Chain A
Amino acid sequence: MEKKILIWAFLLFVGVGSFVFALQTNINIIPSYQIIEAGEEASVIFEEDQLQNRNDWTYEMIITKNKHNGEKTIIKKQNGTLTDAKEILTINFKTDTLPENTEKWHGKIANMKYTASIYFSNTKTLDVVGMAKPIYVINSREKLKTYISDDLKNKINLVIGNVDTVTSTTIPQAIEECKTGEKTDEETAEKWELLMPKLDNLKTDLENINTQIDLAAADITLQNCRNIDIAIGQYASGENKETINNYFKLTNQTIARCLE
């Protein structure tokens, strides 16, 4: 009985150990540029320093091109066996020029996506670990910078300015009209008063987009571009959606009930 318990305990230990090992395996995928220009030569470095008994492991590196219609094409494949010494695995490839029907970031910056993938497999235990990372290829880093620091920033600044004008002047005027004008509607006035702090929250989210734009304009990296997207996502979240819906309703209500 004790032997059985010991065997189960051992198996559990090995099983949990393998699971923990798999989760802790850390693979770094480092492209030569975070944002690559179309037609440029690029390279990707794969690093893994936690595989044990390394010469039992083989590797396969793959670069795929993801088309806008969802199709994927393998551009380059490279494989081999790891040695006991830690290796830095590199794969080089040339990016295509941009076709016309590429995806556009915020409708402006044409981009196509490649994926750099690697998997390591153990020839004895048949374990496999793998990792993949997208690489974005755009028409021009300079155009991206201009878009971020001019177009996008101006767009956000314009809206922030208009939120300021409306919350400081237009809505208070609307509230006054609803309370004291020829046509009065207390309910609309009260709703505007309740909406004002929510518009302030919305403005804070807009200012956060602006902060991320400034950071990305100063340092064009994929992560910084994504931080803009994350800030835009936060702005487009549930609470602001509700605020904007209520804003539209109140605008129509004010026109119908308070204005001549």
Chain B
Amino acid sequence: MTAEIDTTATPSAAKGPIDRAAGMGRRWLRLRGTLGVLVTQLVVLAAFLAFWEYATGQNKAAAFMFGSPSAISKFLSQMAYDGSLWRDTYVTGLETLLGFFVGNCIGTLIGLSLWYSRFVSRVVEPFVIALGSIPIIALAPIIIIWFGTGLISKVAMSTLSVVIVALVTSYKGATGVDPDQINLLRTLGASKFQIFRKLVVPASLTDIFAGLKLTVGFALIGAIVGEFMSSSEGLGHAIFKAGSLYIIPKVFAALVATIALALILTFAVGKIEQLLMPWRRQLR
């Protein structure tokens, strides 16, 4: 019976040279596509910076109000030289990472385990919605009273910004599992824990990672808001201090560092996602 199987599908190892050449052609086309996008993005950015530089160069008041790319880069190199750029980025990065990690761990754990009991999840639901609707900044004064003005209070702010989103996305993932798939595992004799571990958790990974990507930004916002309230270092502190002294280009310089931090963290999450979900990579 094996001889009758569809001959159209052969294992990829058996592909001929023509297929391989076609594959390379496709890869080149795809590369050219992404290259085109990248070049266009750079052109748009350069045009924006050039306009900014030109407009603020004409007018002293505008230069004071809006800074200019050249002034920003001057501050950036100065901050890099005196080490404050690295120090502030490190501090905010650490707060963000810790808050991101703790918040996602707690949120995902609770969100997934709510799958276990329909009763508990129904009891908890209004409380989650209520907690989720609190603007985190409103909690900042209490957080500082409870946790002081050091690292812990910023991590707490960051954690709080993340935890509800992580809970909701992971719960959504867990309850979105195809009931037929659950039935299949039941007919194979799986216990509730086996269904949880072998089906619900891996099936929720897609939603969990969507939540992770979303919460990178939230964790950073939490850390920066915490630094705004009271701090002696960090990018939020640098932004706040430069702002109060009306040094606008320095505000932008710290903002550039913040954006870079956010991009690096988002990129890292994407890489981890690819590592943990290899079956999604094969789709492309």
A joins B in a complex: no
